[in-house]
Structure 1
Amino acid sequence: MGTFFLICAAIGGTILVLQLGLTLLGLGGDLAGADAVDLPDLPDGDGGDGAVGHEGAGFSDLARKLTFQAVVSFLAFFGIGGLSARGSDWSPGLSLATATAVGLAATALLGYAFGGLRKLQGSGSLRLSNAVGEVGRVYLRVPGGEGGVGKVIVTVQGRSEELRAVTPGPELRAGEAVVVTRVVDDRTLEVVDQAAHVAKSASLAD
């Protein structure tokens, strides 16, 4: 089992260090968002409908935020915690439990740390109006008909930014290309499917 923990720590640690370096260079959003896992909606405890601007921390929001970054963070510290436990001659079962607890705790802390770095990079002179017309990519699924809020990654003023997004059109899945059509508020953009936007623009031109 020690070898298993070592492999987890080596793989997760290497990727995590690489991601941290990219984040500090302002490129981390692309890596984190490229592999976001888009899970189906699960009912919130309050039965809310996910209206625009709703900040409820329902289970569905947490589930849909499972990202490549979280998986890598867990893998790295799961391995480190397991190696430490085995080094103390703990039993395999206790070592596994310890590794899991360390991995989960470290994942939560690193999530806050990476989020803080992105907010710091995005603060200051960022103007969302400069994002209008830009092409981005869906990070977290955007419900159709402005039925909820998702997230997109868009380049604004030369920086890759992770921003809230709504769409008046059909649902947008993770990884789909979108075009920013307007600014909803100081944290939210309205986006539409890029292919549909191009087709509509072409028909209007004709």
Structure 2
Amino acid sequence: MFEFLQHLDSLHQGFWYIALGASLFFLFQTVFTFIGGHHGGDFSTDFDGNLHHDTPFQLFSLRNLINFLLGFGWGGVAFYDSIGSKTLLIIISILIGIGFVVLFFFLIIQILKLTEDNTFKAENLIGKVGEVYLTIPAKMGGKGKIQISLNGTNHELQAMTEAEENIPSSHSVRVIYIYDETLVVAKI
């Protein structure tokens, strides 16, 4: 299968071995990333990094090493016959490897920007306006229901009021605070 490598000079063989080995390892990393494999530290994906630190990018990681070797190896293979100077070829291959690391870092940053925490937290409703769905009894005398939107999702939640009068259906209310997992609202 790899007989063609036997007739190449040592630098060209080196580029091929690096390119093929890095490609194989990159393939394993990619497969384990998508199937969620946690098969030891060598295949760690670490997509849950916190971008709010001063240094979100770990320069010396296994993933970056593989990305560098991928660019370095395939860059060397691709330009081996085009560039006569072996020193220049190695320098260009190094730059391509660094470019792969930078490109991968940029892609991960963009992917992490797409993630959004849509977990429902009642605390996020304080100050928001909703509409009464079932009449809310006065003076915290019982529970009614309101419909309220948070992050583009409508929720139907139990609500109470401290007001002196019942708040009938279809009236707008503002969430004031949360009492015992029930929204306390005031008529607007």
Choose between structure 1 and 2: higher helix proportion.
1
Task: Mark the structure with the bigger radius of gyration.
Answer: 2
Higher relative contact order (CA 8 A, sep 6+): 1
TM-score computed with the length of structure 1 as normaliser: 0.42
TM score, norm. by length of structure 2: 0.45
